[in-house]
Amino acid sequence: MEREQLADFLRRRREAIRPAEVGLAGNPRRRTSGLRREEVAMLAGMSVDYVVRLEQGRSSQPSTQLLGALARALRLSDDERDHLFHLAGHRPPPADGVARLARAGLMRMLDLLGDTPALVLSDLGEVLAQNRAALLMAGDLTRFTGDRRYLVYRWFTEDAARAVHLPEDREHQARQMVADLRAVAGRRAGDPTVARLIERLQAESADFRRLWAEHEVAVRRASRKTLLNPRVGPLVMDCETLITPDQRQQLLVFTPGDEETRERLDLLRVLGLEEFPTGVARPGQG
């Protein structure tokens, strides 16, 4: 671990980012054009004290999870992210297999979308990042670990994952997810991550085995769905999926399908993050 180089790199990247680039309101009285340490800490989900110690070269070796959070908070490019990992004494995330860190360009698009709910997903359906509007709409979808990271796994093994959709829509959603997974399996033939996920789903879900056997293939692109929000009721959303050239990550953007949904999304923004009812996880819970 190269503490002095790591400290210098983090400090310079923090000072180079304008608040507007990460969705923070500017303040004419700011004494610096870059981010404050407390803002980096908030964006990365860590303590201000730890950010200070990192920048002063006094920290213990950060984990790969913390480095990933810092890379997202500082909107690092792929090359900058790899450099960060090297300075901290870790191997960078592999280019092959499941991409576990949202690409910097997609993170910037999340910031620019503002009040429009949007998610960055891996090709296996793991939510890698979401903006505040998506957090209000669906709760924290980045908190899951293990197989539960994958939406398709939660869909076929947990009632709660299916409960956010209308009963009459669930068969269509299931078919869509299985067809998309079949397309991923074709592109990533021989990838043990994909193979193990499919094996576990076949072992645990009769519905998955039934749909997998039908061998339907379709990449998820655009759709309309109704999401049942526990605070404001049904949300009719048009979903557009933008896929990166290597097909490893997706930007999923939700726009209201009718005026009533638009008004309910406005109400969610007013309610904010502090009024999730019992049973709906707040950010960081899981």
In DSSP terms, which residues pair with 227 in a beta bridge? 165, 235
Query: Mean pLDDT lowest for which of 23-27, 65-69, 177-181, 255-259?
Result: 23-27
Return the percentage of the chain with pLDDT > 70, whole number.
89
pLDDT score of 279 more than 50: no
Mean pLDDT for 67-87 is: 85
pLDDT in tens, 164-222: 999 999 999 999 999 999 999 988 888 888 999 999 999 999 999 999 999 988 877 77
Number of residues written out for the chain: 286
The rounded mean pLDDT for the chain is 85
DSSP 3-state assignment of 130? strand
- Single-letter residue type at 225: K
CA pair distance 83, 63, nearest whole angstrom: 15
Q: Give the contacts of 83 (CB within 8 A, at least 6 positions apart).
A: 9
Which are the contacts of 19, defined by CB distance < 8 A and separation ≥ 6?
25, 26, 27, 30, 35, 39
Helix axes 170-187, 192-204, angle to 10 degrees: 150
Of 134, 135, 71, the closest CA to residue 99 belongs to 71
* Cα–Cα distance list, 265 to 48, 75, 152, 274, 281 (Å): 32, 27, 26, 16, 19
- Measure the CA–CA gap between 130 and 256, rounded to whole angstroms: 17
Q: Could you give phi then psi for residue 252, rounded to 5 degrees?
A: -105, 120
Over residues 18-45, mean pLDDT: 76
Mean pLDDT of 89-105: 69
> pLDDT-derived band of residue 96, with 50, 70 and 90 as boundaries?
very low
Q: In this structure, what DSSP letter does residue 244 have? A: -
Q: For the residues 224-244, what does the mean pLDDT come to?
A: 91
Comparing 139-153, 216-230, 258-272, the range with the smallest average pLDDT is 216-230
- Comparing 220 with 258, which gets the higher pLDDT? 258
Q: Which of 10-14, 42-46, 94-98, 182-186 has the least mean pLDDT? A: 94-98
Residue 286 has pLDDT above 50, yes or no: no
Least confidently predicted of 83-87, 116-120, 156-160, 260-264: 83-87
pTM over 0.85: no
Choose between 246 and 25: higher pLDDT.
Answer: 246
CA distance to 100, 182, 243, 251, 270, per residue, from 186 (Å): 20, 6, 16, 21, 44
Report the pLDDT value the prediction gives residue 281, as an integer from 0 to 100.
39
